[in-house]
Structure 1
Amino acid sequence: MSFCKALKKLCKKVICRFLTIPDIVVTLAFVFLTVIAVCYFKTSYGPSCVPPLLCRPHSYADFGVIGDFFGGILNPIFSFLGLVLLLATLRQNEKELALSRKELKKSNKALKEQAKTQKQQRFESTFFSLLDQHNKLLDVLTAASKGGSTVAGDLFLEIKCDAQPSKSKLLATETSFHQYARILYQILKFICIQNTNYSSQADDQLLDILKNSPYSNDEKLYSSMVRALLSNDIYLLLVINCYVTEETDDFYKFKKLIERYSFFEHLSTQRMTSGNLTSTSNHIKTG
């Protein structure tokens, strides 16, 4: 019994693999034609199955009778087989279209994943390039000074006074901190814009992003990488640099970025003896 099932399964596989729908239709048409021809000649001309017209070539009138018979029988059969072939072709086309749609959907998904990966790679390449420039400038500011402190620490002691005068003195003094602040601003802006739905790098959209876009996990990851590099002396200089009282101030966007990424969360204010400087740091922390 199992042998018969195996043989049947094998025959089915062979038929499905080597015979197409058109092959099957043509085979059936040939079988029908053969069976009908044999039955006709057997019934009409006896066991010999040889019609008189083949024995008497001059009796051509018999051709019309035979033609009418086969035409009346085979025309409906061939029409039916043609319909079957048409339906089978439509069915096959439907399957092929379904497979094409499925493959297209997979291809589209793969392209989206590839585009997402490429976008992430471009972001990280630019980010780490900016971070490398940032670290070089940071090394200059955190280098040991003659007084045993750091360059940034000495700069803070030199300009420390009330908040606004300190900022004015910091901006008026040509130091490496100016370049450092610019690169830090570009890094934070880049992190903010690239991890939201905004595609433009224009500054005029930055405030909209800061107000309307939620703080994403990717932003937290990359901003924390930057924040972890800073010393307290750099934080103190940033407090002065980001002292802002009006939205029209050039440093307002920088201040909002600092707030968004909680840069002063762990700021030590022990060296900020001026009351105004302490209130400035609190102002930046609380927004």
Structure 2
Amino acid sequence: MRDLISLSAFPKSGVTYLGFLMFHCLFGDEAGIGDLEKQYVIDIHAWPALRFAVPGGPRIVKSHFPFGPDRPGVGRTARAVYLIRHPVDVMMSAWDYRRFLNPAETPDDDEGGPADGPAFRRFVHDWLASGGAGFEVAGPWLRHVRSWLDQREIPVHLVTYTDLVDQPGRELAAILRFLDLPVPVERQAVAIARSSMAAMAALEADEVRNRRNGVFYRPELARSYEGGRRFINKGHRGCYATLLTDEERALADRTFGAEMSVYFSGGSGAGAG
């Protein structure tokens, strides 16, 4: 039985934002935001039992798995929304996430952020040379994207991170049409407002301040939070043009060139999300 809607994306591609949009569209004010990924738009990695709070409602899961018949939930997926983000911007968010999870790991010369420290430049080279490897659950970015967009078993609606952030009204409406989920325009506008970067950051700050398990805060992340680091971060854009050296851009072109030319404006990703 195919009864699931999958919000699928490579890690650090913005699927948390997409999950917020769907939650606020479909489950109303009575649903507890802290249970978003546990009972409403279920994170299939953390909550694989898939116990939905609204049995008769849309059964939506968030997944970082590549497509494959043996992947959890794939055999039950009726339709999927695939969110794609420029691989170099994903790389930068992956770097931030690594620092978030392991605050003591990154050398001091990189403490100011993604500057020019040797640890960062090694990370960049490894990411570009490997096709975007760095998340075991997902495999390389290149393989993940191709697994979902080249398959024909499940209908897929493709949306880019840039378009979703820059044109949320247009993209959310298109997603809901694809999924055949009628939501009043007024409710869509509420969902967009409640899912903004500022709104998500405020929720994270509240969870951290109250040390309350929720969408973001976990006790095991306390050290990172105490150091001022956050899950909701910079929303990197255009990193291909602004952060790579000429040599690194050449490597990115060799590795990701086909995908960059197909899915991102101008191929290079300048201005892409």
Give the TM bin, normalised by the shorter chain. under 0.3
Rg larger for: 1
Q: Which has the higher helix share?
A: 1
Q: Which has the higher contact order (CA 8 A, sep 6+)?
A: 2
TM-score under structure 2 length normalisation? 0.23
Q: Which has the higher strand share?
A: 2
